[in-house]
Structure 1
Amino acid sequence: MPTLTFRIYRELNDFLPKPFRQRSFTRKFVTLSTIKDAIENLGIPHTEVDLILVNGQSVDFSWRPQDGDRVSVYPMFESLDISGITRLRPKPLRESRFILDCHLGRLARYLRMLGFDCLYYGHCSDERLVAISLDQQRILLTRDLGLLKRKALTHAYYVRATRPQNQIEEIVARLQLQNSFRPFSRCTFCNAPLVKVDKQAVWSKIPENSRRCFNDFAYCNVCGRVYWKGSHFERMQRLISKLRDS
């Protein structure tokens, strides 16, 4: 059986069993097809890979390795210039917009709180998620590794954390979103932009106590929700400050 020797770098080790992390290891294959198939056979989605070296040579996903080849696999480089070799990840999108799978509803609300255009559907097929990601140039966020292995995907990310607050901290840090925040500019329920309104225009939608205590209000023209700086506002501000410093 043909064998390949792998060395996986940085956060791509998250997809490997612990005995294979941060070290070289050899894997046997019944047959060898493309290097993309070999890497995804390890459990690493192609959307997470930015550079592949085979015996020290930069290759693309269609490369067909040979028995005994040594393969090094790298994630997205943030500071090292590798423009002269075969970079596999697409260029960052001009605007960070997202679509999330059905398991990440709370994360979607956090992203909207920060002002990001973020689509989320309680029920949506994998095919539809991929189609929207491609058609609207949205980054697909998911915890479904099988979904990330779909060949058509170009901008996608596997969310490692399981708790929503840890997830938003991870996404902001990993995708370097700190300078793109527009807090409280979107409806956290339906994603539509918010507009400032006079108190009298939304008087009937505001609790009596809030009418007395607050004067600044924002309104969603799509779902009709009204927002103001209530008791939760300071807590949300603290989270935003923490995320800016991440």
Structure 2
Amino acid sequence: MVHATFRFYEELNDFLARPLRRRAFSCACAKGASTKHMIEALGVPHTEVELILVNGDSVGFDRQLEEGDRVAVYPKFESIDIRPLLRVRERPLRVMRFIADAHLGGLAQLLRLAGFDTLYDNHYPDADIEELAAAEHRIVLTRDRELLKRRTITHGCYVRTLKPQAQLREIFDRLDLAGSAQPFRLCLMCNAPLRRIAKDEVAGRAPEGVLERHTQFVTCDICRRVFWEGTHWRHMRALMDSVASARA
């Protein structure tokens, strides 16, 4: 058994037991325990961690803890470029793609609305989410911290807010998505690309009043739904504009 001193910063404290928050504390560690093992044993999913300093040096998740080590654990930095220091992941994801767990169906639809490839099925077991995230290099979105502790999940976000629109703003802010959004290119239900369709092909697939008032339509080739720029579209356009401009 060895003893190390830990200090967690900013929102990582939300995962800790209350007596351990926002202060340095000593913790007994099994001999040979890694930083990842102890960080998660204390309640913090490894996907929430961006930087680990042990005795002032940046280390990876596999660093074995030794007697007297001082461990500082940080979340994502908002205003400082720390890429030269990073040791916890091999590389960033080149394309932002997501998989959402069963409790985040509303968020999944809004991310699709914003143009982000987002898998969602409320029947996905955790093992399938883990497998798909690893195979397709997807970011796991969840309110289940235990899911984020699974070994092969390298990128994930614990979603703190409860309402879908607030969740969308949270994810846009944390992952700086505004510059990558391409709204209205994916089907909200199927996650498949939308394509333009001629008005004469819409007959029988949209209400007559819609055909009288609108001239431009898009469709999903999977579910065959047809979409047009009606009242709901304008509300969603306003939401996308407000989210995209929030950090401008």
Q: Which residue of 2 aligns with 1:210?
A: 210
Distance 2:32 2:68 in 1: 11
Tell me the percent identity: 47
CA contact (8 A) 1:218 1:226 kept: yes
**C-alpha displacement at 1:21, in angstroms?**
2.7
Structure 1's unaligned 5+ residue stretches are: none
Q: Secondary structure at the match of 1:95?
A: coil
SS at 1:38 equivalent: helix
Pair 176,90 (structure 1): closer, same or farther in 2 beyond 3 Å:
farther
For the pair 1:52 / 2:67, whether they are aligned, the reply is no
Distance in 2, Cα, partners of 1:243 & 1:172: 7
Contact residue 55 and residue 71 of structure 2 kept, 8 A: yes
**CA-CA distance at 1:236 after TM superposition:** 1.1
Kept in 1, the 8 Å contact 2:31–2:65? The answer is no
For residues 86 and 157 of structure 1, the distance between their equivalents in structure 2, rounded to whole angstroms, comes to 18
- Deviation readout 1:60-118 (Å, 9 max, x if unpaired): 21222123321101123354344444521343222111111111111110001111111
Q: In structure 2, how many angstroms separate the alpha carbons of the residues matched to 1:87 and 1:77?
A: 14
Following superposition, the deviation at residue 206 of structure 1 comes to 0.8
| C-alpha contact 2:2 2:28 (8 A) present in aligned 1 | yes
**Do 1:100 and 1:141's aligned partners in 2 also have CA atoms closer than 8 Å?**
yes
3-state DSSP class of the match of 1:12?
helix
Structure 2 unaligned regions, length at least 5: none
CA distance in 1, matches of 2:91, 2:174: 15
How far apart, CA to CA, are the structure 2 residues paired with 1:107 and 1:90? 28
Give the SS at the match of 2:234.
helix
SS of 2:203's equivalent in the other structure is: helix
TM-score, L = length of structure 1: 0.93
Residue in 2 aligned with 1:132?
132
- Counterpart of 1:192 in structure 2 is 192
AA at the equivalent of 1:120: Y
* TM-score for the superposition, normalised by structure 2: 0.92
Alignment-derived partner of residue 40 in structure 1: 40
Instruction: After superposition, give the CA deviation of every residue in 1:17-56 in whole Å (9 maximum; x if it has no partner).
Output: 3443322223344666112111111111111112211222
- Describe how 1:1-246 pairs up with structure 2 within 5 A: 2-29=2-29, 33-246=33-246
Q: Distance in 2 between matches of 1:85 and 1:29?
A: 25
